[in-house]
Amino acid sequence: MGTCTSKPPKPNPYASRELYPDDQAHPSQPPKSPPTPLHDKPTSNITTPKSPFFPFYSPSPAHFLKKSPASAAAAAGSANSTPRRFFKRSFAPPSPAKHIKAVLARRQGKKAAKSIPEEEDGVGEGQGRVELDKRFGFSKELTSRLEVGDEVGRGHFGYTCSARFRKGELKGQQVAVKVIPKAKMTTAIAVEDVRREVKILRALSGHTNLVRFYDAFEDPDNVYVVMELCEGGELLDRILSRGGKYSEDDAKAVVVQILNVVAFCHLQGVVHRDLKPENFLYTLKDENSQLKAIDFGLSDFVRPDEKLNDIVGSAYYVAPEVLHRSYSTEADVWSIGVIAYILLCGSRPFWARTESGIFRAVLKAEPSFDEPPWPSLSPEAKDFVKRLLNKDPRRRMSAAQALSHPWIRNYNGVKVPLDVHIFKLMKAYMRSSSLRRAALRALAKTLTVDELFYLREQFTMLEPNKSGSITLENMKLALTKNATDAMKESRIPDFLASLSALQYRRMDFEEFCAAALSVHQLEALDNWEQHARSAYEHFEKDGNRAIVIDELASELGLSPSVPVHAVLHDWIRHTDGKLSFLGFIKLLHGMSSRTAIKTQ
Ligand SMILES: Nc1ncnc2c1ncn2[C@@H]1O[C@H](COP(=O)(O)OP(=O)(O)OP(=O)(O)O)[C@@H](O)[C@H]1O
Ligand SMILES: [Ca+2]
Ligand SMILES: [Ca+2]
């Protein structure tokens, strides 16, 4: 059997599913030496049958047997390049992904394997001493409400069965029941994960691309999550059955639906943290069926100005900043980048044989865009994926922004949703010095039609008045219109209150652009230098003026402890005492005492 058959067609409900048949060792099974070729089961590593789905991929096990320094470095991604020399295809085709070991360790109370240093907080460990409260407050009436049928799927934390309502309004309706055994909840984190999973699903249910939630039940043994039955199978299985050959339009159809639901989650302040093709299901078997996000088991609420730090997710899809333990919603966008890459070329962008090797690739290696089919794909498709796979989360597109990218924005019925990122940028703008605002206004004048498209969409959604300006009230209303219970939990209304500087102001589109543009994202563009130069010219005309260093320091709000003359010396053009180009660029980024010291 090849990599591509992710699981047996009729799983035995009581046998543990072989989740990771190919290239990763099962948690209890350390990697064998020599390791199994990528697409084969352990027993078939002598004759290497070609994968039925990836006939072009016929790896030789040789590079595993003989670890030359170069191949070891490449496989580990220690060089700034991908290990493509060692594979016919640059990266391995997709297969079921397993959770990062640290995720499981923290949830099961075991010591994490070596690839990631675990936090020394002891949260995951030693919890056997304290009796865990596994009461969830859910109804105990599962069996009287539902008739539970066969198993339809299985994951690490639970298994899912089909079921049918016995009575009530939904009598006869087919549903899915995810059964999560309480015995598996061996740590407080694991119990909390299940509470949150249900809370998030309940709050977000209703979006077209999110599995519909009906109810949750419990008994002494299990928690039962009742949801819409998706009969069309996992996205992963469809990718595998097509051998990763998606036309750009077919890939768009998938990516748009993923972005829709993820942008919605992010606006509600929920980060999924486990986006992968296994966690998207089709409602029906037909080709054009709708895609639904499932499995919020690792999801969390995140406030707009907060960073999360626990390492969560599945190795192939994990964002670099998650491995650095400081991340937010952008991490999901990275995972969508990995999915989009796979859809378009049939291979994973970051691959290695071990978990730590994958992490090194994620942190260091640049995915290949040189090998077939990439040269024959549109430049927009490549640009799209590259802008999702930017290692710097500040430079990465947000999900809402990705929906306004030229590759996707004209696809059937794409609607750009409200982007909470806009509010974060506006908050920073409102707190900026007048000099910085002038610099941002100059930069806003250089935005291209493509960049303005997204800002115009956002501005329109805030429903400006007839004279074309918006107030804080408009922003509140726009958010209220889109609010679910999750938004309260992620404190988005509180965040808006912190924008009170906008209270008595109106912002027209021109100023909105200055306030809501992201300097970091513009910096990631190929023509950034050009942008910045022409912005500086605008600034010279309208905003630049002679400045003394002390004034600049107070404009920037630098604390008295900062050695301002040393730090800001380069910022001033000595011929006329005005801001230099370098000073202008730094000013665009804003300046705190911390960044001032760093730029010394
Ligand atoms: N609503 C549904 N309709 C049909 N099948 C479903 C549904 N929800 C889940 N499944 C099936 O059950 C499998 C396991 O569900 P889920 O991913 O929620 O479990 P998990 O234990 O959290 O998995 P993981 O190991 O990925 O964390 C899914 O991959 C899917 O095949
Ligand atoms: Ca899952
Ligand atoms: Ca899960």
For 135-190, write each residue's pLDDT tens digit: 999 999 999 999 999 999 999 999 999 999 999 999 999 999 999 999 999 999 99
Average pLDDT over residues 396-409: 97
Pick the residue whose CA is nearest to atom 9 on ligand 1. 160
Average pLDDT over residues 250-268: 97
Instruction: Decide yes or no: CATH 3.40.220.10 for domain 423-598.
Output: no
6 C-beta neighbours (distance < 10 Å), count: 21
More confident residue, 108 or 598: 108
pLDDT at 5 over 50: no
Pick the residue whose CA is nearest to atom 11 on ligand 1. 153
Tokens of 356: 């730590």
Of ligand 1's listed atoms, the one at least distance from the Cα of 231 is 4
Place of tokens 């965040």: 495
Pocket residues: Cβ below 6 A from ligand 1: 152-158, 160, 176, 178, 211, 227-230, 234, 278-279, 281, 294-295, 297
Q: Which top CATH class is 235-402?
A: mainly alpha
Residue 155 CA to ligand 3 center (angstroms) comes to 7
Residue 296 CA to ligand 3 center (angstroms) comes to 6
Of ligand 1's listed atoms, the one at least distance from the Cα of 158 is 21
Measured CA to CA, the distance from residue 415 to residue 396 in angstroms comes to 20
More confident residue, 243 or 236: 236
What percent of the chain lies above the pLDDT cut of 90?
59
Query: Residue 274 catalytic?
Result: yes
Measured CA to CA, the distance from residue 171 to residue 152 in angstroms comes to 21
Residue 476 CA to ligand 1 center (angstroms) comes to 36
* φ, ψ of residue 327 in degrees (nearest 5): -155, 165
Residue 279 CA to ligand 2 center (angstroms) comes to 5
pLDDT, residue 174, reads: 97
- ipTM for the complex shown: 0.99
Pick the residue whose CA is nearest to atom 19 on ligand 1. 155
pLDDT at 240 over 90: yes
Range name among 64-68, 259-263, 312-316, 545-549 with the lowest pLDDT average: 64-68
More confident residue, 41 or 215: 215
Whether 235-402 and 423-598 share one fold: the answer is no
Measured CA to CA, the distance from residue 395 to residue 462 in angstroms comes to 24
Measured CA to CA, the distance from residue 73 to residue 449 in angstroms comes to 43
Domain range annotation of the chain: 235-402, 423-598
Active-site option among 22, 40, 193, 274: 274
For 273: left if phi > 0, alpha if psi spans -120 to 50, otherwise beta; the answer is left
Of ligand 1's listed atoms, the one at least distance from the Cα of 278 is 29
More confident residue, 557 or 384: 384
Residue 421 CA to ligand 1 center (angstroms) comes to 30
- Contact in structure between 186 and 201 (CB atoms under 8 Å): no
pLDDT, residue 545, reads: 82
Range name among 16-30, 183-197, 497-511 with the lowest pLDDT average: 16-30
**Nearest-ligand number for the alpha carbon of 295:** 1
Mean pLDDT of the chain: 82
- DSSP β-bridge partners for residue 271: 300
pLDDT, residue 547, reads: 81
More confident residue, 593 or 581: 581
Q: How sure is the predictor about 440, in pLDDT bands with cuts at 50, 70 and 90?
A: very high
pLDDT, residue 175, reads: 98
Measured CA to CA, the distance from residue 388 to residue 383 in angstroms comes to 9
Ion ligand 3 — residues with CB < 5 Å: 295, 297
Question: Quick one: which of 197, 220, 195, 219 has its CA closest to 210?
Answer: 197
Range name among 94-98, 316-320, 590-594 with the lowest pLDDT average: 590-594
